[in-house]
Amino acid sequence: MASIKGKLLKITDKGFLVAKVKMTPAIGSPVYSSDNIKIGNVKRVFGPTKNPYITIDPAINSKKLEKRVGTTIFIKKKKRRREKRK
């Protein structure tokens, strides 16, 4: 499965993670560290469309994530579901 590469930039005051990515991911896509541990899910996408930033809702304790700031992350692309015709 293809993935989107990015870099974890910081942890916000509210405990969310901010990352810069190469392509725009789908909201709710799972985010993994370089050693294939799930970090969380994409919560929001903002910034320029060519190099967007994302907010990640963490799945693990933010204190454990502090050492991961500056590391590479991967976002697995979600499969698009086709809507049924009525």
The residues spanned by each domain of the chain are: 3-22+29-76
Contact call for residues 6 and 55 (beta carbons, < 8 A): no
pLDDT at 64: 75
Of residues 32, 46, 44, the one with CA closest to residue 4: 32
Structurally, at CATH architecture level, domain 3-22+29-76 sits in Beta Barrel (2.40)
Q: What is the pLDDT of residue 82?
A: 66
Q: Within the chain, which residues score under 70 in pLDDT?
A: 1-2, 62-63, 78-83, 86
> Which pLDDT does position 57 carry in this prediction?
92
pLDDT tens, residue by residue, 50-72? 889 999 999 877 667 888 888 99
